[in-house]
Amino acid sequence: MQIEKTIFISYRRTSYYTALNVFHALKGRGYDVFFDFESIDSGSFEQVILNQIRARAHFVLILHADTLSRCIEPGDWVRREIEAAIAERRNVIPVTFDDFNWEQAKPYLVGQLALLKDYNALEVPRGYFDEAIDKLERRYLNKTLDLVIHPTPAAERADVQRRIEAAFAAPLPTVQQMNAQQLFQQAFAKASVENHDGAIRDYDEVIRLDPNFAMAYNNRGWSRFRKGDLIAAIQDYDSAIRLENNNPLMYINRGWARQQRGDFAGAVSDYNACLMLAPMNGAAYLNRGLAQQALGNATAALADFEAAMRLEPNTPYPYYNHGNVLMGWGQYDAALMDYERAIQVAPTYAYAYGGRGVCWYFKGNPWQAVWDLRHALRLDPNYTFAQEWLNRITGGGVSYPSQ
């Protein structure tokens, strides 16, 4: 065993300035450091990233408020990097900043990521960056490790070295850029607890400080969407996409906002763009299916729901919506199977019981229909669809026993 001085830095793009500071600090101390400086996380570079994790002993994970927020998506790159580091038994070092909160991050610690909270994290108090780097070196990096290091494949060495040199040549962030990033994380934390007015004010200031901060426009759009201002939300998504046209999240967000305004064709166009960039995005297939259904394209909708079912088999929404299409076609037995699958993966999903109840009614079983509709209303007393159908079924003078 020996002390290893090779490091991989993992970070969310919105924490770029932090990652760059950490990179420069560690390079200045003689470490061989790699991070995805040029923001290329698709195509042939995917394997380069994974190979660099295997080629390095230490895995430094930069944790800000939003870092883990998209890790519930199976194809998210931060998630894939963390999973690879855990699988390769790297020395995983979570580095947490003031805006990061383990309790708030808990919903995103899915699968192997649940192990993150068991690692010894390094906290970086605001204003104590240099002291934290000293501690990182003394306590986390300066240790012998028993692990297997895989050398960088010969075909990738020149490209990797070029990227490291480009990162080293990049100028350190300015105070204004660091302030913009800090405000962005503050805004994200506010939006996470539905304080969208406060979040919007912070995002306004982020954009004033850094007009090219694409995710600030995207996230301000989301807060505006949550407040019901769909037009302003779409304008923000437009700005975000102009600045960063290769981010699938921005297209799916704009698509959903367009969908809520009734612009179903525009929504389909955005979901198409999202899927060109992220072919494994189950939510994009689900949302496109809903838009296709609204446009009267039931066959296309069914195909999209089936794709979403394959990609996200543990969520109820694709099954439920697939069942709705089949019930509309009179294929009641197949629709019942879909509703039952939805209930299996989400036993408290009221809409699945409502759909199944109506399906039972069309199959000539009003007793089972009433049971399902009443159960749906117990789960969601404001579920008007279930209440309307229950009134319709029970309004003919037939008495159905209470559950």
Q: What is the DSSP string of 257-305?
A: HHHHTT-HHHHHHHHHHHHHH-TT-HHHHHHHHHHHHHTT-HHHHHHHH
Q: How far apart are CA 99 and CA 125, in angstroms?
A: 10
pLDDT for the residue numbered 356: 98
**Domain 174-241, CATH:** 1.25.40.10
User: What's the DSSP call for residue 138?
Assistant: I
Q: How far apart are CA 197 and CA 190, in angstroms?
A: 9
pLDDT for the residue numbered 38: 64
Q: Which two tokens stand for residue 336?
A: 């019942």
pLDDT for the residue numbered 403: 53
Q: Which two tokens stand for residue 161?
A: 């070295």
User: What's the DSSP call for residue 71?
Assistant: T
What are the DSSP calls for 84-115, one per residue? HHHHTT-EEEEEEETT--HHHHGGG--GGGGG
Closest CA to 236 of 250, 249, 248, 221: 221
pLDDT for the residue numbered 292: 98
* pTM for this predicted structure: 0.87
Sites in the chain below the pLDDT cut of 50:
40-42
Q: What are phi and psi of 144, to 5 degrees?
A: -80, 145
**Domain 2-169, CATH:** 3.40.50.10140
Q: How far apart are CA 21 and CA 114, in angstroms?
A: 27
pLDDT for the residue numbered 41: 46
Q: For the chain, which residues make up each domain, given as ranges?
A: 2-169, 174-241
Q: Do the strands 144-145 and 2-3 form a parallel or antiparallel pair, or are they unpaired?
A: antiparallel
- Within the chain, how many helices (H) and strands (E) appear? 19, 7
pLDDT for the residue numbered 42: 47
pLDDT for the residue numbered 343: 98
